[in-house]
Structure formats: structure tokens, C-alpha cells
Structure 1
């Protein structure tokens, strides 16, 4: 007789992928867009720069967290990798990514851009006329703002700003004071443009550019008259950019964050990028100064700040080399006000295909409507949208009670949000900074309007920020509704955020950190019970990332029960699919295309009575356990069908921009097979909604 197989331990670290390594895999998928000849050329350049910027942030945040764990201890993730091992593997994978990025730049994009008349001129290709013009430009525009620093006992190593461009110069000879030259540092101020466009009369081309790093390297000798420059090597250091404020110990969070922001650019170093031909002794000197280990250095075959080449995208007006423009769909005019329309039924917005102006119109209308009494809104990232801010300011000046929950700790937007909070407070808006210890990541808007003898609530709930810029580049779902239960739930959440209310029982919304985590696991377990009983069971969900062990274990158990599970996870995924006896019923795909996939949608078959939710939360520990998030149901069957068709079924059918996660953590690009027709989910939505 066959021996029964032992029940797998679902906590076994072998069943989990490392979050950091999975995040690096995402950047490989972004880079693949830069290598894809079917993508317009300047868009390919943009994808290359995005992959570089993503890698910067990866070191600033994720590597910083792992190094902190190495030094001070901390919980090890479900994958069981210790910090030292994780850093070793990160260096190996990141080194491969950097090599691929510069190979893409040097061997593919730069030559193709040149063939298209967009030349980024290397130093060894400058003709005499270009050389003269650049030397004069250096003397007139660059040299006056440079402050080179020779290194000696009286001049210690200068403070190097995070991600700034610098040149280390090797010198020979003596200066005016008789000091022997050895080494100097030239820092490029942020005020200097990193890309210099040559006049057409000088270069002969309408789109000829030179990198600042090349100009500094070519004329750096003019900074050291009487001395010989033996070598000049560009370098850049990436620092820890995570802000830490002990909120329970500070009286004013905004002031504490301002103090932290002042020092962010000079915090602990995480990575050193340096020209590949830089001699080893100089590299060792830099590593010693920045207190970095050997596995933190990355030798670069090109500009160390390659992401700055993104400026070429904006400087070159060549529509044929960019994605064709599209006109987002607007709400059709149906007479009456937007409030009358919402009383007739819910409105679903699918950005960027539906215009964000519909949300803006809702706030602007409320600001001037004499019957509107109050407006409450959460703001996580706004991009400094003046129209939205002005509408809130106007509402306050019109005597309405306006309350805005501003999340000051939105990463890399802290300074902008502090300025936003000050602007709103000056106008009489009541500004709340959320809850101590929990970022407010929920996307909610509540309008209270007097209609006859009663007060009517109007609500907007979304998966994305109130940010007009990202609403054009990110896919997100928004719901505008006058549903009484949703209105009451949102009202209670705002009461909780602005006051000291206890945990509340909501009728429609699921909320982190209270009910969402438990509700997700309960719904996954319900699908497992349906499957064991032979009933229809299936889960389809879309999100940016998944790493929460409790949810992953529940998905493994559902897979073991026979539930078919399809996950669309754009970025890091710690779940390992396709493991026999554990996750063979789970398929994980990632779609990377023109728009950044940002919507969070969860669908449960529930034996023929399906439920579909949209949320601000990914299935990550931070979102489910340490943030204020909202998850809302789509109650209108017609709109629920739209969300399923457009955001789930459509993306599962994608066979041109879709990647499937393999059990070993790698990704395989999906291609049409046989006579299968190519299908791009994003292109299909553009054609359907904006055609």
C-alpha cells in the first residue's frame, strides 16, 4: 500500500519567496519594456529610467531596512532568509540588473536614438566646434558654481548628498600654496542641469545632448590650474531615506518631520555607484569614507545618474516616438447636478480611461453649493494639485466645515504634504494628521448636503490617490455613490480619524487595521469550504504586492481544497505558486505596460453569489495590520460586472504584456500560442473606453 503523504507545513520557509528579491524581479520586467521593439522608442527610454529610479528607491528603503536588521536584529520574514544572506543575494541580483540596464543603454537605446536623430554625444565624439561651445558653457555656466575640495588633513571628506553627482579627481603636482595634490572631490550642485542641449547652429542636429557628467570630466582640469589631472571618475552614493519619528514622544508631528527631512539627504550610505574604470585604491577610500562593505559597490559603464536621461523625453517633441495620446472618457452630460445623478445610481470610474475631472467636479460643485454643509477628505499624495486644493480652500471660505486628513508620512511626499497642510490650515480647513502609529492610506471623500428635511451623504471611494497626475498614468478604480450605508460607514471612519472614537462596527466597509485582514481570511476559507463540498469556488484578485503570511497560508489551504486562484500581482509576491500539494491551483501573473497597474480588486465566487471589492490596500503586512485602509464592495450588479470584466477577466486574458510567476521566483513572459490572437489588456481598455 502507498504510504499517506505527510501534510505539508504551510509555515515552511521554502514555501515563501523573499520580498526584496521579488521586488528586483519586478524591475527586470520594467526593463524588458525598454528592450521591447514594439514599444515606441522614447517610451522605451522612459521605461529604462523608471527601472533606474525604482532601483534607487529600492536601496533607499528596502536595502536600508535589511541593513538595519543586520545591525540591530529584527524579525526574519517568512522566507527565513537572514539579513546577511539576503544582502548577498540582493547584491548578486541587483548587479545583474545594473549590468542589464547599461547594456540596454549602451548597446540598444543610445544607438537607436542616434539613428532617429536624437544624439546623446559621448565625450570622444565631440567635434572641434562642439568642444569649443561646451568649454565656453563650462566656463560661463558651470565653473562659477563649483567648489572643488582637495582632500588633506585640513580638508576632510565633504558631506555627499544622497544621489548627487560627484567627481573624484586624482591630481599630480603642487598648488599655489605648495601643497602636493593627491585627490579632490567636485560636487555637482543640484542647480546644474544634468542634460545639456546643444544649439542646432553649433551641433547641426535639432536634438543633440551632452550629459553634465561628461562635461565635468572633460574640463575638470580648469578647476586645478598648475596641476595635472591623472584621472577623473564620477560617483554617486545612495542613502537611507526612510524617516523615523517616534510619534508618541513628539508634540508636533509636522515639526518633527521637518527636522528629519533636513537631514534625510545625509543619512547612512547604502550603495556606491562609481565609474567602472576607477582604480581599486580610490574605490576602497570611498567605501571606507561611506562605511560601506565591498558588496555595496556597483561599477557603472555609463553615467552614474542614468535616470536623469528622462529629461530627453520631455525635451524632444517627436509624437511618433511616443505612445499616441488619448482622451479620457468624461461623464456624459445628463442634465441636473452631479448630486442628482448620484441619487439615481452609483457611478464607477476606471482611471486613466475615465477622467479624474469627474472627482474634481464633485469637490468643486460641493465647494460652491449653498446646501453643502461639510466636506471631509483624506489626502495621501496630491502632487500639489492646485485645482483640488483651491476647491477645498474655497469651500472653507464659503463657510463649509472642511476637514482634511493629511498623511504627513507619505514616503517621498512628506515635505509636499507639510506645505499642503499649512496651506489648508491658513484657509481655515481643519487638518488632521491621522492616527499615531498608523499611516492613513485610505482614499475617501465625504460630502454632507442638506436636501429638504434630511441630510444626504455623497461619497467617493478609490483605490488610488487624489492626484491628477497619477490618475493619467495609473490604473485605478473609483466609486461615487449616495448609498446610505456606505455614507454612514465613511462618516464613522472620519469620526474615528479626527477624534478618539473606539473601534466601530461598519455595515459595508472593511477597514484596516481592524476588520479587513480577518475578513479576507474568512472569505478565502469560505471558498475552501465550498470547494470541499463540491460547490463552485474561485478567487481572482488584483493588487500591487502580497507578503502577509496569514493570507498566503489561507490561499495555500484553499488551493489544497481545490479552489482555483488567479492572482494579478504587479510587484513583489512572496507566495510561491505551483508547488505540488500546496499551491498547484494558484496562478500568479504580473502585467507591465503603458500604465502602472495600481488598482486593488478582490473577487470571490461564493457558490454563485459572487462578491467583488475594491480597496486601497494590498495584501501586505503594513496595509492589513499597520495602516488605515478601506475596502468597499461594488453593490450595483452592472458595475460589479464591469469591474470583473475590465480589471480581472481582461487582464487574465492578456498575452502580450503579462508575465507568469514560476515556482522558483522567476517570471516567464506570456506570448500568444498557435492561432491565439494577441491581447493587450490596457490596449483593449483604451479601445473600448476611449476609442
Structure 2
């Protein structure tokens, strides 16, 4: 079988297709109105990060004169051209939906976004007073003239651009005002008593920019505002870090963050569709941006702020996602009044536990595991990797408490977790002050593993307990991300983890492991072996099947092998939420490959790899997707699941996803996606998993 460029989907275009699914999901009639608002906000937030990182990288390549084609055959410039076309089509779709459907439905449900010009006199007086007391003191008009150069426009800030006429000399001047959306809510609620509406279930809002724009003349005493318009810029925010030259990694990341806060080159300019030509021309010249990166908007700028509306206290307008129960095996922990009184360590000595969040509560499982270790006098040491941690982390508190209790605590904090660097720096400093041994990993690699190891002294010898997961040690995201985790005392895997922690702290050159798959040392090689074994089994007429669930499938080598496996007769089911660079269902290429994407109330984040092995299935879970960065440029850990009952549970879970015809999108042979036609079976994976608990 010939392998050529036209069998790979471009990574960036596949991501755009994923974000399209997010937008279209929020437009479905079945969702409640505030959930629709949430999806709209997520779509816009995703786009912001995409421009800050992916588009910025491609633009930098073009400016550096790089013309090398990606594996799918596109140059950086060709990718940018296609990206702009696709994104402009999608943002137009979003705006049309908001203006013609979402706003009407919000109003129908009692959430009214009012325009200043439509306010009654009483409402206008209240809004003007609010502006004077709560907004006006925060505004700083910056004039542009020979003595005042064009001001720096910070990343993702909302700005007002105005032309002001000085009455004394009849001269027009350009003025920029930054809208203080970090200190003021984007949508200001007008009290019901001002509206003179007795129904407390109704909410009335005016946008902060609408209020400022209609009070603009109060900023310019003795002058006249000729016209004004709003704009927003997106800047290159990828963190450029020269680790090899850094004597102090913590300091190097802090300095790089300062540069990011200022922002790099502008990669997108969003303006109102009716922005006056003279203001637009001045902006283009001052910001130095090509016209293809200008987005003319017919709705609100910065639609990620729509998420503020989801905080409205109307439970009937959004799904209650705060679900989950304590895992059945952990229900009777530390209850002296209960005859089944037990500790988590006693339980794990008898049985491995497979966790599935958010259906199994993170608080009463993983957090319980770390908390008990911090206070248990028999625990000698705790080792853990932290990639993204919540700002009010119970686990961080437990680690600091453990150090204060005299335990050996080693924490790897990944300082380069994109957009969480600042948070992780603060945690690293606090942990060090509490006496925790903090390390920052291996130079040149991000540490993306989700592993924790507890060393406990029992009857004169040390026993190791551990957790290996697919998601971060983050109590907030654990409520909305679906992730798996293994709690166990398996001695071989525990030994592998000890070796891996020693490698991460710089005291080991270990590259081989007994059971654990670790990148960049052994994971790629092992996955290739497992796929090739399925190919061999198919060629020998044995049962051959692969089921894999992950966030993204990008790696060309893995994709080529999957095509070969399909051609050999291996049945392949891929559950891939985001980017998928493989074409399924193509004749003489991928006829045996099915790809689905689950987009629902929870973000599908678990990574699961199931290989039939002629009836002797091998199953793995862990932190890695099938992407080059995960297999070659990150420290990742994937663990086998060897317990028969747990393997059966995972297989059943995978089948639940495969049978889904409600949250699932099926990928077609041209790389596009469509929803299933709903039938009487109505298989709803996420809802079915909730109901299975009740």
C-alpha cells in the first residue's frame, strides 16, 4: 500500500473541524439555553488559544521564509490561507446564530440583553449613575499624536477607538480607551426594581462597552466625539523558553511569562463590522496587520465572556453537572461506627480499584488517597507529578501538611504547562517553603504524567501504593472531565514508578521498565509492537481488533500502521474527541476503521488503548495521546490494566461509547463529521453512565 500526503488530514484543519463540532453541539435544540451559551463561549475561547499558539506559530514560519510542507502536503502559508477561510465561515455561523436565535431564546427564557438606546428614562438614569460611580474612574483615554505614540494593545483586551474633535482648533484626534473587563463584569445586571419588573426569575443586562460608548463624551470635556468603535487584538502568546541556557528554570519561566503578558506580534484583529474606515485604517497601520487577519464582527467581540451568563441562578436553564458518587469499594472508609471500618490502604492491599471521574468522586478517591497518606504515621514518603492544579487545591495542602509531619515529599511541578505557568510557579514556591522537595523535570521535555506514589512502612518493610491516571490532579476539572485512574499496589508497576521518579529528579538514566509504558523511552516502540501483533494475528486468521480512545490522533507513524492494520483486516474503532489526522472508511485504505467523536456535557479526556490479542486482550490507560509530542517530546506514563474484572469494565465502557448515537459524531471518509440519525435505541453514553450509578 502506497503512503502519500493525501492520506493525512491537516492537523490545524482537523482542530477547526473539532471546534465546529463544539459550536454545532451548542446549537442543538436538545440543550438548555445556558448550556448553549456555555458551548458558544467554549468555541470562542478555543479560537483565542488557537490563534495565540497555532496560528502564531505558522505566521512565524512564514515570516522566517519557511516553505517546508507538513505531512499532509501544505506549506505554512497554504495552511494559514485555509485556516482563515474556515474560521471566518465558522465565526459568521456563530454570529448569525447568536443574533437570530440565541438572543431571542435568551429573551424568551427571561434573560434580556438590553441596548442603551432602548432603555427607558429610569433605566438610563440608573445605568448612567452606575457608569459615573463604578466605571468612569477606571477609564484612561490615551490620545495618539506626535507627542503620544500609538499605545500598546494588550492581548485579548477589549478596546474603544474614537475620533475626538477639539472645539478650540477643530482638529480631529484618535483616542484609545481600554475597557476594564477584568475589574467589571462584561454584562452589567440592571436591578429588577429599576426595570419595574416584579418577576425575580427575569434578568436584565447591558454590556459594559455599550454603556461606556454611550457615555463617551463625559471623558472629553469641551470636546466632541465624532464616532467610535470597538476592537480586540489577539497576540502570539506561545512561551519561548531556552531551557538549555537557563541556570534557574523557575526564574526563566517567570521572565518568559512577563514577555507573554505584554504579548508578541498581533495575529488577529477583531473589529465591529461597521467600524468607520478612518479608524480602521489607523488601526491597521499602527498594529501592522495584514487584512486577511482582520475579522469583522456583527455580534459581541470576545464572545468567550458569554460564559458569565451561565452563572445566572436558574437551575431550570442548565444541566446540573455536579454529579458523582463515592466508588463502591471506598464507601466505608474510616467510619469507626461501621462494622466494615477500613482504611484505603487495607482495601488496596486486597483489590485494585479503577476510578472513572466524574462518575466516581475525585474528592473521596484520589484526594482521599493523598490526604490519608499525609496524616498516616506509617507513611514514609509521597511522590507526585503536578501538571495542572486547581487554585484551591486540597492535594497541595495535603502535600505541605505531609512535609510538616516529617514525611519525605517529592513533587514534580511542570512549570511549562501552557497557560498554567503562573499558577504552577506560585504553587512551587509555596511547596518549597513548606519543606517539599520540588523538581521541575527533564530539560527539553514537558512532564505530562499523572502519577502518585505512597511509600508506607508495614510490619517492618516498605510497601508501595500508587495512582496512575489519565487526567490532572485538579479537583475542579475532575468535575467536568471524564478520566480514568488506577489505584493499586502492584509491585512491578510500583518499582517502575520508583525508577521513573528517580529519572524525573535527575538521579537515574533508566530507560527500560517492566510494565509501565514511558515516553520518550519505550512507549512508541510498545504501541508499534501491539499494533503489528494485531496485524500478524489478522494475517493468520486469528481474532484481531483495536479500540483506542484519546483526545487526538496525529502521529504519522501510528496512522500509517493503522492503515496497514485495516488493510490486513484488523477491526479498528477510534473514539477521538479532538484532532484526527486519519481518514476512515476509505476504500483500499481504511475500510475497517471507524472514527467517532463524543461531544457532550463532560469533556471526554480519558486515554484508553485496548488490543484484542486473539482473545487475550491487553488494555492500557494513561496520560498520552497518539501525537508526536506525547510519544517523543514529553514524559508520559501509560499503565497496563491486568486485573480481569477491571479489563472487563473498561471494555464495557468502550462499548458504551461506540454504541452512542446521541453525543457521538461519526467521521466520514472525507474528514467531515455528521451526527447520527436518532432512533429508538437512543444510546446516550454520558447520561447512561450517570444513570447506571443510580
Shorter chain as denominator, the TM-score bin is over 0.9
Aligned mates of 1:516, 1:136 — CA distance in 2: 63
Structure 1 match to 2:337 = none
2:451/2:467 contact within 8 Å kept? yes
Structure 2 match to 1:3 = none
CA-atom RMSD in angstroms? 1.4
1:96 aligns with 2:108: no
Structure 1 match to 2:105 = 112
1:240/1:268 contact within 8 Å kept? yes
User: Which of these residues, 418, 431, 448, is aligned with residue 438 of structure 2?
Assistant: 431
Aligned mates of 1:253, 1:281 — CA distance in 2: 46
User: Which of these residues, 565, 579, 584, is aligned with residue 591 of structure 2?
Assistant: 584
Aligned mates of 1:645, 1:214 — CA distance in 2: 52
Deviation at 1:317, TM superposition (A): 0.9
Q: SS at 1:457's partner residue?
A: strand
Q: SS at 2:226's partner residue?
A: strand
User: Which of these residues, 583, 600, 604, is aligned with residue 597 of structure 1?
Assistant: 604
1:192 aligns with 2:184: yes
Q: 1:179 to 1:339 in 2, by over 3 A?
A: farther
Task: Summarize the alignment of residues 582-661 of structure 1 with structure 2, pairs less than 5 Å apart.
Answer: 582-646=589-653, 648-661=654-667
Task: Summarize the alignment of residues 522-541 of structure 1 with structure 2, pairs less than 5 Å apart.
Answer: 522-541=529-548
Aligned mates of 1:531, 1:272 — CA distance in 2: 53
1:568/1:591 contact within 8 Å kept? yes
User: Which of these residues, 229, 235, 240, is aligned with residue 244 of structure 1?
Assistant: 240
1:213/1:303 contact within 8 Å kept? no
Which deviations, in whole Å up to 9, do the C-alpha atoms of 1:110-149 show, x marking residues without a partner? 1111111111112332221111111111111111111111
Structure 1 match to 2:674 = 668
Aligned mates of 1:192, 1:633 — CA distance in 2: 49
User: Which of these residues, 403, 410, 415, is aligned with residue 417 of structure 2?
Assistant: 410
Structure 1 match to 2:61 = 69
User: Which of these residues, 500, 504, 510, is aligned with residue 497 of structure 1?
Assistant: 504
Structure 1 match to 2:301 = 304
User: Which of these residues, 329, 350, 369, is aligned with residue 344 of structure 1?
Assistant: 350
Q: Which runs of 4+ in 1 moved over 4 A?
A: none
Structure 1 match to 2:221 = 225
Aligned mates of 1:375, 1:202 — CA distance in 2: 57
Aligned mates of 1:287, 1:576 — CA distance in 2: 40
Gaps in structure 2 of 5+ consecutive residues: 333-339
Aligned mates of 1:204, 1:612 — CA distance in 2: 62
Q: 1:612 to 1:428 in 2, by over 3 A?
A: same
User: Which of these residues, 388, 393, 398, is aligned with residue 386 of structure 1?
Assistant: 393
1:150/1:181 contact within 8 Å kept? no
Q: SS at 1:182's partner residue?
A: strand
Task: Summarize the alignment of residues 553-564 of structure 1 with structure 2, pairs less than 5 Å apart.
Answer: 553-564=560-571
Structure 1 match to 2:165 = 172
Which deviations, in whole Å up to 9, do the C-alpha atoms of 1:461-480 show, x marking residues without a partner? 00000000110000000110
1:360 aligns with 2:367: yes
Q: SS at 1:274's partner residue?
A: strand
Structure 1 match to 2:134 = 141
TM-score, normalised to structure 2's length?
A: 0.95
1:182 aligns with 2:173: yes
Deviation at 1:326, TM superposition (A): 4.9
Deviation at 1:312, TM superposition (A): 1.4
Aligned mates of 2:563, 2:278 — CA distance in 1: 51
Q: SS at 1:181's partner residue?
A: strand
1:283 aligns with 2:280: yes
1:379/1:406 contact within 8 Å kept? yes
Aligned mates of 1:82, 1:289 — CA distance in 2: 29
Aligned mates of 2:404, 2:170 — CA distance in 1: 65
Deviation at 1:75, TM superposition (A): 5.3
User: Which of these residues, 193, 198, 204, is aligned with residue 201 of structure 1?
Assistant: 193
Aligned mates of 1:132, 1:608 — CA distance in 2: 75
Which deviations, in whole Å up to 9, do the C-alpha atoms of 1:145-178 show, x marking residues without a partner? 1111121111111011100110111223446xx4
2:512/2:521 contact within 8 Å kept? no
Q: 1:113 to 1:351 in 2, by over 3 A?
A: same
Which deviations, in whole Å up to 9, do the C-alpha atoms of 1:409-432 show, x marking residues without a partner? 001000000000000000000000
Deviation at 1:74, TM superposition (A): 7.3
Deviation at 1:241, TM superposition (A): 1.1
2:378/2:457 contact within 8 Å kept? yes
Structure 1 match to 2:335 = none
Aligned mates of 2:117, 2:51 — CA distance in 1: 32
Q: 1:325 to 1:540 in 2, by over 3 A?
A: closer
1:45/1:313 contact within 8 Å kept? yes
Structure 2 match to 1:335 = 341
2:442/2:506 contact within 8 Å kept? no
Aligned mates of 1:577, 1:125 — CA distance in 2: 52
User: Which of these residues, 23, 46, 49, is aligned with residue 54 of structure 1?
Assistant: 46
Q: SS at 2:172's partner residue?
A: coil
User: Which of these residues, 25, 28, 37, is aligned with residue 29 of structure 2?
Assistant: 37
Deviation at 1:351, TM superposition (A): 0.3
Task: Summarize the alignment of residues 480-491 of structure 1 with structure 2, pairs less than 5 Å apart.
Answer: 480-491=487-498
1:174/1:181 contact within 8 Å kept? no
Structure 1 match to 2:270 = 273
1:376 aligns with 2:383: yes
Of 258-267 and 624-633, deviating more is 258-267
1:156 aligns with 2:149: yes
Deviation at 1:389, TM superposition (A): 1.1
Deviation at 1:181, TM superposition (A): 2.2
Q: SS at 2:554's partner residue?
A: coil
1:385/1:467 contact within 8 Å kept? no
Aligned mates of 1:537, 1:284 — CA distance in 2: 62
Aligned mates of 1:74, 1:472 — CA distance in 2: 44
1:677 aligns with 2:684: no
Deviation at 1:195, TM superposition (A): 1.7
2:662/2:683 contact within 8 Å kept? yes
Q: SS at 1:664's partner residue?
A: coil
Structure 2 match to 1:4 = none
1:687 aligns with 2:691: yes
Q: 1:631 to 1:75 in 2, by over 3 A?
A: farther
Structure 2 match to 1:570 = 577
2:357/2:484 contact within 8 Å kept? yes
Q: SS at 2:215's partner residue?
A: helix
Deviation at 1:510, TM superposition (A): 0.3
TM-score, normalised to structure 1's length?
A: 0.96
Q: 1:134 to 1:552 in 2, by over 3 A?
A: same
Of 551-560 and 72-81, deviating more is 72-81
Q: SS at 1:614's partner residue?
A: strand
Aligned mates of 2:63, 2:284 — CA distance in 1: 18
Q: 1:74 to 1:437 in 2, by over 3 A?
A: farther
